[in-house]
Amino acid sequence: MTEPPHPHAMATGALTAVARTAVERLVALDAAHGATAALGAVRELTANVPGLTAAPDAPHGRDADTLAALAELCEVIGWILFDAGLDGRAHRMNTRALALAERCGDRATARLVLLNESMLHTRAGRPRAALDAAARVSGPRPLPTLVATLVLVRRAHAVALLGGRREADRLVARARSRFLDGASRQDPPWAWWIDRAELAGHHGWVLARLGDWNRAIPLLHEAATAPGPSYRHLFTAELLAALTGAHAWREAEELIAELAPHAGDIGSARTTETLARTAARLRGCAQAPVNLRAAAAFLLESVPPPPGGCQDGPSR
Answer yes or no: is pLDDT of 201 > 80. yes
What pLDDT is recorded for position 50? 76
- In whole angstroms, how far apart are CA 310 and each of 204, 234, 269, 273, 299? 29, 19, 10, 11, 19
CB 161 within 8 A of CB 209: yes
Q: How far is CA 293 from CA 66, 244, 280, in A?
A: 54, 11, 9
E-strand stretches of the chain? none
pLDDT confidence band for 316 (50 / 70 / 90): low
Tens digits of residue pLDDT in 93-110? 999 999 999 999 999 999
pLDDT higher than threshold 90 for residue 241: yes
Confidence of residue 52 (pLDDT cuts 50, 70, 90): confident
pLDDT of residue 313: 47
Task: Give the Cβ contact number of residue 167 at 10 Å.
Answer: 14
Helix 233-245 and helix 249-259: axis angle, to 10°? 150
Q: If you ran DSSP here, which 8-state letter would residue 182 be given?
A: -
pLDDT exceeds 80 at position 60 = no
Average pLDDT over residues 184-210: 95
CB 217 within 8 A of CB 246: yes
Asked whether residue 53 carries a pLDDT value surpassing 90, the answer given is no
Closest CA to 236 of 284, 192, 268: 268
Contacts of 120 by beta carbon, 8 Å cutoff, 6+ apart? 82, 87, 90, 91, 94, 313
* Res. 191 pLDDT band, cuts 50 70 90: very high
The continuous run of DSSP H or E covering 275 comes out as helix 269-283
Q: Rounded CA gap, 208 and 192, in Å?
A: 25
Residue 219: pLDDT band with limits 50, 70, 90: very high
pLDDT for 4-15, tens place per residue? Answer: 444 444 566 788
pLDDT exceeds 60 at position 203: yes
Confidence of residue 63 (pLDDT cuts 50, 70, 90): confident
Percent of the chain with pLDDT over 70: 90
Mean pLDDT of the chain: 90
Q: How far is residue 214 from each of residues 129, 141, 208, 243, 246, measured CA to CA in Å?
A: 30, 38, 9, 9, 8
Average pLDDT over residues 257-261: 94
Please state, in angstroms and as integers, the Cα–Cα distance from residue 110 to each residue in 57, 101, 157, 238, following that order.
Answer: 17, 6, 20, 29
